[in-house]
Amino acid sequence: MDIIPAQMKAILLILFWLSCASPASFAKTPGEVEVGGYLREAPLYGFAGDFRKLSELRGKPLIVNVWASWCGPCRREMGSLERLSRRYGGRQFNIIGVSTDDDGDAAAAFLGKSGITFDNYLDRKLFLENMLGASTLPLTLLIDARGRVLQKFYGSREWDSPESLALIGRTLRIRM
């Protein structure tokens, strides 16, 4: 006689596997720079046809948000990033967005309709998506002035909340 039903065995097996799995055991994106690593050079293609290099943003801490116009959580957190940018952006740190949209027109339309003013770029060849580790959207990275990744946050947040402001201040070592 089987004391533990088959469904219970399956659940226990899954729970055991999850308890043994470390974050390092999950798949990474190709070429991902992990926390503690330094970002490599990358092209940034603006929606207005402008171009710059990621290295041009060194010298000041950087917040990078990876998003897509079709991503509901990405759209929800964009307002808090805009408020954060208007309040602090450019003075103590820079904020940029990186769209992973296949349709650049859809991404540009979302930015225009939302009234987003901080710099956003289109990741045409998925180079940034892979380097930053955007296996899930949205992804927000806190990066020091030398280009070292300090933290990665998957999922939507209210970036202008008191808790997030304290987190940004501690991580980037700046007064908020």
* Structural domains of the chain, with CATH: 37-172 (3.40.30.10)
- What's residue 3's pLDDT? 58
Buried b / exposed e over 34-61, threshold 16 CB at 10 Å, is eeeeebeeeebbebeeeeeebeebbeeb
Quote the CA–CA distance of 131 and 106 in Å, as a whole number.
23
Note whether 69 and 109 are within 8 A (CB). yes
pLDDT at residue 77 is higher than 80: yes
Query: Looking at the predicted structure, is the pLDDT value of residue 27 above 70?
Result: no
Residue 14's pLDDT band (cuts 50, 70, 90) = very low
Which residue from 135, 152, 127, 151 is spatially nearest to 53, judged by alpha carbons?
127
How confident is the model at residue 28, as a pLDDT?
Answer: 86
Q: Provide the total of helices (H) and of strands (E) in the chain, helices listed first.
A: 5, 7
Strand order, beta sheet including 51-53: 51-53, 43-46, 119-122, 94-99, 62-67, 139-143, 149-154
pLDDT at 2: 52
Residue 88 predicted with pLDDT over 60? yes
